């Protein structure tokens, strides 16, 4: 079945640093999504990507839909304490309603 | 502020007991998903519904799990009998068919002793 490899699994950074994480897939996706999960809550959608090569920003977050359609990247600039949480990538193939989720990247920020 | 609600938020039970988790999707959403989250497996899709009809429950252990939508405002996930390996956080999410955004509830944290 479809698999998503998300890396890194965890990150420990200093406040103010930039963050990069990525997801790769064994198959092509038509949609890439990035979610954030705060402790004790469900995932919340951050950014949705629909076209290969697309670069989309949401405040300090920027995500890209890879040209091969098998990968996606999320960058966070100038991290702040509220960025702490688990970030998930998710992909959807053409015609599918189900999302395939990555394993998550746990972000910890030292003040 | 429309949100998916889930009850209970926490449940501790003993092995062999029946567990029922409830979800109220966002009003107007016609697609409901049930996920299970564990440290080892991450987010796993258990089942999903369109217009209250089950479309796919291949992610669910059939012998003990069952998911239903008695009406458009209520989705249930039952485990009978529960086992320690069922301990996890169970999320419900809702959305519109064909749209990408799934809105997640806060989850039910289940502990089976």
Of A30 and A3, the structure prediction assigns the larger pLDDT to A30
Chain B nearest-CA residue for A43: B104
Give per-residue burial for A20-48: e unless 16+ CB within 10 Å, then b. ebbbbbeeebbbbbbbbbeeeebbebbbb
Instruction: Give residue ranges of B with CB < 8 Å to any A CB.
Output: 4, 31, 42-43, 45, 48, 50, 55-56, 91, 93, 97-98, 100-107
Chain A nearest-CA residue for B9: A40
Say what the pLDDT of residue A110 is.
87
Contact of A102 with A6, CB cutoff 8 Å: yes
pLDDT digits (tens, 9 = 90+) for A20-63: 999 999 889 999 999 999 988 999 999 999 999 999 999 999 99
Q: What is the mean pLDDT of chain B?
A: 94
Write out chain A residues lying below 8 Å of B8, CB-based. none
- Residue B2 — very low, low, confident or very high, per pLDDT cuts 50/70/90? confident
- At residue B107, the 3 state secondary structure works out as coil
For residue B30, give how far its alpha carbon lies from the nearest alpha carbon of chain A (Å): 12
User: Would you call B104 and A43 a contact, using CB atoms and an 8 Å cutoff?
Assistant: yes
Question: Phi and psi of A76, rounded to 5°?
Answer: -120, 125
Euclidean distance between CA atoms A84 and B65, whole angstroms: 34
Matching residue, tokens 């502990």: B111
Of B103 and B39, the structure prediction assigns the larger pLDDT to B103
User: Would you call B105 and A42 a contact, using CB atoms and an 8 Å cutoff?
Assistant: yes
pLDDT digits (tens, 9 = 90+) for B59-93: 898 899 999 999 999 999 999 999 999 999 999 99
For residue B36, give how far its alpha carbon lies from the nearest alpha carbon of chain A (Å): 11
Say what the pLDDT of residue A81 is.
94
Contact of A61 with A70, CB cutoff 8 Å: no
**pLDDT tops 90 at residue B14:** yes
Euclidean distance between CA atoms B29 and B23, whole angstroms: 13
Say what the pLDDT of residue B47 is.
94
User: Would you call A31 and B105 a contact, using CB atoms and an 8 Å cutoff?
Assistant: no
**pLDDT tops 90 at residue B105:** yes
pLDDT digits (tens, 9 = 90+) for A58-103: 999 999 999 999 999 999 999 999 999 999 999 998 878 788 999 9
Give per-residue burial for B22-61: e unless 16+ CB within 10 Å, then b. bbbbbeebbbbbbbbbeeeebbebbbbbeeeeeeebeebe
Say what the pLDDT of residue A2 is.
60
């Amino acid at each position: 079945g479809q698999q998503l490899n998300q890396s890194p699994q965890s990150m420990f950074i200093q406040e103010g640093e930039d963050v990069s994480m990525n997801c790769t897939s064994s198959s092509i996706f038509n949609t890439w999504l990035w979610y954030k999960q705060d402790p004790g809550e469900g995932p919340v959608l951050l950014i949705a990507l629909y076209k290969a090569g697309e670069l989309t920003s949401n405040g300090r977050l920027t995500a890209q839909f890879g040209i091969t359609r098998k990968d996606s990247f999320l960058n966070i600039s100038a991290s702040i304490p509220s960025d702490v949480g688990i970030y998930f990538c998710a992909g959807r193939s053409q015609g599918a309603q189900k999302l395939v989720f990555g394993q998550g990247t746990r972000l910890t920020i030292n003040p | 502020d429309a949100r998916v609600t889930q009850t209970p938020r926490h449940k501790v039970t003993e092995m062999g007991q029946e567990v029922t988790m409830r979800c109220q999707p966002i009003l107007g959403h016609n697609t409901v998903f049930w996920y299970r989250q564990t440290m080892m497996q991450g987010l796993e899709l258990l089942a999903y519904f369109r217009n209250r009809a089950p479309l796919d429950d291949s992610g669910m252990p059939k012998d003990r799990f069952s998911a239903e939508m008695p009406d458009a405002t209520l989705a249930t996930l039952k485990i009978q009998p529960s086992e320690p390996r069922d301990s996890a956080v169970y999320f419900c999410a809702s959305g519109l068919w064909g749209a990408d955004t799934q809105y997640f509830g806060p989850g039910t944290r289940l502990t089976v002793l």
